[in-house]
Amino acid sequence: MHMSTLKTIEEDKIGTPPFYDANDITKGGKLAHIVLDKQVYTLRITRAGKLILTK
C-alpha cells in the first residue's frame, strides 16, 4: 500500500498520530536512519515485509 497523502497538522491536533509509509521513509529502499535526541536508529524493511527498528 502506498499512501500519497499524509495527515495535515490540523488533523494531528485532534489526537490521531501521523501516518507514514515505510516505503516513503526509505525512499523505495530497505533502510532509513531516524534520529531521536542525538541517537541514531535504523529502520529496516525485511525480505518478508516486516519492519525492524534498531539502535
Q: In the chain, what are the domain boundaries?
A: 22-54
Contact between 19 and 8 (Cβ < 8 Å): no
Question: Which of the four pLDDT bands, split at 50, 70 and 90, describes residue 15?
Answer: confident
CB contact burial 3-24 (16+ within 10 A = b; e otherwise)? eeeeeeeeeeeeeeeeeeeeee
pLDDT above 90 covers a percentage of the chain that reads 65
Global pTM value: 0.69
Calculate mean pLDDT across residues 1-25: 71
